[in-house]
Chains A and B, each alone.
Chain A
Amino acid sequence: MAIDTTAPEAPLGAAPPPAAPAPHRPVWLQQNVLTAIVLAVAGFALGHWAGNRIAGGYPNVAGASGENEVAICLSLGLGVLGWLLGIGALNYPIAKMFGREAIQEPYNPSWTRFFKFSTDHKVVGVQYFFGVITFFFTAGLLAMAIRTELLYPTNHLIGPGTYIEIVGEHGTMMMMMASSAVVGPLGNYLVPLMIGARRTAFPRIEATSFWLFTAGYLVILTALPFGGFPTGWTGYAPLQTQASGGMDSYLVGFAVIGLGMILAGFNLIATIIHYRAPGMTWARVPVFVWSILATSALLALATPTLVTAGLFGILDRTAQTAFYVNERGGSSFLWENLFWFFGHPEVYIMALPGFGIVAEILPVFTRKPVFAYRVATAGMFGVALLSFFVWQHHLFQSGINPDMRPLYMLTTELISIPTGFIYLVTLGTLWRARIRFEVPMLFALGMLFNFLIGGVTGVFLSDVPVDVTVHGSFFVMAHFHYTIMGGLIFALFAGIYYWTPKVTGRQFDQRLGKIHFWCMFVFFNCTFFPLFILGLLGMPRRVFTYAANLQFLNDFSSVSAYLLGTSFLIFVANFIWTIVIEPRPAPANPWGSLGLEWQTPTPVPYYNFERIPVVMNDPYHYAEADADPVADISLPPPAVAMNRPPAAQAIEP
């Protein structure tokens, strides 16, 4: 329902009670990442001590390694609490108990703001970017270790136990990273700018989501000194209940990251629904924002299942419940069901934002409107909805009544229809276009190529006979690497190259960017395509030895993986040289985009827009000389109509 925005007759008065300015504190008393580390270590030590006091006398709480699981879980839990306390995430929740309102965060233009709890969505976006990159490179180094071990079929550099620990750590970290790879940096930074908002709906929740993300990184790293976990990233029981202390890090880490994901989705949904500028009707919302909305819905609704499943796992290992213990009335298949009820929407949590980036970028470099805009958005929500009804296809080989397989085969194949819609929309945008092959466009096209392979092999895998044949093989692994790395990571780089001039006011060296793209594209395919063949030849996942006749393909893949890793160093060098050491100023709108985010000054001011913009058109009217401008940021708000949520009317005085 549309209503006008004229000022109410009742005096607004009355400002909301003015937020108190933050008291000035000496540097050594300010909360930042250092205080967070100190309190996290203190919390960790306290938890360990308390756990040993509580459960030290009970030998039955010791896991297979003889460690006190209660002490480990408590130390991790209190460590995370200390981390949040130290960074300042709990200041406001505590102050609220005494009726106090938030303290106004002083504007801090210095670089130190990136190491503090900030409620500026742009700072949180940049923090997420570096967090995601750290996650990615840590897990990438582990991938190099995996490929190194697989250079030889029978001569081993590391033992089987260490190998599976590295595989599990790599997979888990990559999945954690990929869940927030786009929503974290680009979603938080760009969504308010794209919808014409000055802020997000719940900025403290947004900031807390990032600091939980970093806490999750640290927790999952502790798995290595605790002996790792032998389950791979899926954490299947009964191995889960038998594993050593590293499994606690896995369960607590996933729960912590999961909470962060829920909060991130929660904030973005409320922001997109309620903070759209006047005139930003649903039909004018950028496709990228639609993709973030669909992803956020999945984050907020699917992830609670993961957190609950993790809680059950922690209870099994500490309180000795039997959720996943077959011998005592539980069922290891319960974990599989709960995990994949989250895990399959998780696939689309990773895929949808990638498509959002690509659909946003294509019109800019083709100078054409998005082809079938409504079909694209409907496809995104179709995918999101259907993703809740397919999880049982992960159990085709275990834990499912065989009579149920056709149903889940059908639902899984159905999901390819809205996915196909989105894909065809991107192809329709490219049709007969005069394409500018700039670096972001190259990555977008690379994503489309890779995702086609990942998507089509996914349709194969949804068929029960194929799934039963190649289940647990390198074929499956190649499929999801094509989907996630070939899809999401390529799209992420497209977004990074595209929006960096907006975020930093500086531009990457385009020649180095193109070298980065071609190296990454070629060596990605050389690394992962052979894995399809290896899978069809029967090479299983997570096994560190293989038949001698598979060595050539493995070596080809390993050498390609090293070169793929090197291609990321080109990106890092480009970033350090052209963004940090010798900054190259970027034009205000280097790609000629119509997007609202490009109409703000660079760097973006603290409040994004001097006046809340009035949106008059969608941002895809390229090559239309007489099209209305996207927005007028100089018009006063009362001149236009805007959507208003029903709740606001209910509370209207």
Chain B
Amino acid sequence: MSQAISREPAEIQETLEERAYELRAAEGATWTGTRLAIGIAIFAFASLAFAYFYLRSGNNLDLWEVSGRAHSAPTAYGAAVMAFMLAAVALTVLAVRRLKAGRLIEWQTAGWASVLSGLLALGLQIFELTNLPFYPGRDGYASCFIGWATMNIVAIIGAVYWQETLVARFAVLKRLFAAEGTTFDSPLPAARLFRANADGCAAFMIFMAVAEVFFWVLFYVI
């Protein structure tokens, strides 16, 4: 089984076994990369949580929160941002399950719906940030909230971008596969890597759901 396959424009010949090895390595790297991305995001958000609890417990000059709950960030906006993000996460997870079941229309629909839901969350988060009932430096709470909103915008953009690239790639691959007479549940390298990528996106989205709920409780509930 050392039949050589040319891979233009590279200079070398690659055997089937080598290609299988590289494919497994690429799948594994996607798995590990996703978990690392989650780890990186955890440390970033943990820094924000540390700031929140550090300033809250220190309550420097009694300025953790000037006016109490009445002047906190609007709960309705916060709940809506969280709800849209949770919906995006649920849709992404559902989409991956549909993909594994070979129900491609449902995957595509759920995927685009997830992107739309994420974009709505993003728009609302930006709108909320520009319509706050307090100025950024009013107190410790206000500062942490601005930090959270900024980081949330970045994280949502990242998550929505990932999901969007998946559904966009799907459209291209679908045409290619149709021409070859194959499908997404096949063992073809492109299909396997696509599924690994979709799995990774779903894992990251689940992390996003946890972060959204956790910080919603911090900033709107307690």
Contact = CB atoms under 8 A, between A and B. Distances in A.
Interface string B123-154: 00000000000011111111110110011000
Give the interface centre of B138, B143, B182 by most chain A CB atoms within 10 Å.
B143
B25 A201 contact: yes
A14 B21 contact: no
Contact of A309 (B32, B47, B144, B186): B47
Contacts, number: 258
19 contacts: A7-B17, A12-B23, A15-B5, A17-B176, A18-B7, A93-B161, A201-B32, A273-B29, A300-B40, A305-B47, A312-B51, A322-B137, A326-B60, A328-B139, A329-B61, A329-B139, A333-B54, A607-B10, A648-B27
A202 interface: yes
Interface stretch (A97-105, A480-488, A507-515): A97-105
Contacts of A333: 54
Nearest to B17: A637
Contact of B32 (A107, A269, A311): A269
Interface of B: 1-2, 5, 7-12, 15-33, 36-37, 39-41, 43-44, 46-48, 50-51, 54-55, 58-61, 63-66, 135-144, 146-147, 150-151, 161, 164-165, 168-173, 176, 180, 182, 185-190, 192-193, 195-196, 199
A159 interface: no
Interface of A: 5-8, 10-18, 21, 93, 96-101, 104, 106-107, 197-198, 201-202, 262, 266, 269-271, 273-275, 278, 300-302, 304-305, 307-309, 311-312, 315-316, 319-323, 325-331, 333-334, 337-338, 341, 605-607, 610-612, 636-638, 642, 644-648, 650-651, 653
Contact of B50 (A337, A612, A651): A337
A17 B180 CA distance: 11
A598 B8 CA distance: 27
Given A330-B143, A648-B28, A107 B54 contact: no
Given A326-B60, A337-B50, 19 more contacts: A5-B20, A5-B21, A8-B187, A11-B187, A14-B188, A106-B9, A107-B11, A197-B25, A270-B33, A274-B24, A305-B44, A308-B44, A322-B136, A322-B137, A322-B139, A326-B61, A334-B51, A636-B1, A647-B27
B108 to A, nearest CB: 12
Contacts of A16: 23, 189-190, 193
Contacts of B46: 305
Contact of B11 (A14, A269, A330, A605): A605
Contact of A21 (B9, B51, B164): B9
Given A99-B171, A647-B196, A311 B147 contact: yes
Contacts of B5: 15
B40 A331 contact: no
A612 B15 CA distance: 10
A647 B35 CA distance: 11
A323 B143 contact: yes
B8 A647 contact: no
Contacts of B169: 96, 99, 101
Contact of A274 (B28, B40, B173): B28
Nearest to A612: B18
A8 B176 CA distance: 22
A97 B189 CA distance: 21
A638 B55 contact: no
B23 to A, nearest CB: 8
B31 A301 contact: no
B54 A331 contact: yes
Given A106-B9, A329-B139, A645 B39 contact: no
Given A647-B31, A653-B186, A311 B54 contact: no
A10 B187 contact: yes
Given A12-B20, A605-B11, A648-B24, A331 B60 contact: yes
Most chain A CB atoms below 10 A, which of B55, B187, B195: B187
Residue from A275, A329, A653 whose CB has the most chain B CB atoms within 10 Å: A329
B150 A202 contact: no
A329 B55 contact: yes
Contacts of A612: 18, 21
A21 B8 CA distance: 9
Nearest to B191: A653
B43 A301 contact: yes
A14 B12 CA distance: 18
Given A202-B33, A606-B10, A651 B196 contact: yes
B187 A653 contact: yes
A60 B206 CA distance: 40
Nearest to B16: A7
Given A330-B60, A651-B27, A107 B9 contact: yes
B43 A302 contact: yes
A647 B187 CA distance: 15
B189 A15 contact: yes
Contacts of A605: 11-12
Nearest to B3: A7
A388 B159 CA distance: 28
B64 A338 contact: no
B139 A96 contact: no
Nearest to B20: A7
Contacts of B21: 5, 278, 612, 637, 642
A100 B23 CA distance: 19
Nearest to A105: B9
A18 B8 contact: yes
A300 B42 CA distance: 11
Contacts of B137: 316, 319-322, 325, 328
Contacts of A99: 165, 168-173
Contact of A330 (B18, B19, B140): B140
A340 B8 CA distance: 49
Q: Please name the 3 residue pairs, one residue from A and one from B, whose CB atoms are nearest each other, closest first.
A: A647-B31, A329-B63, A645-B28
Contacts of A10: 186-187
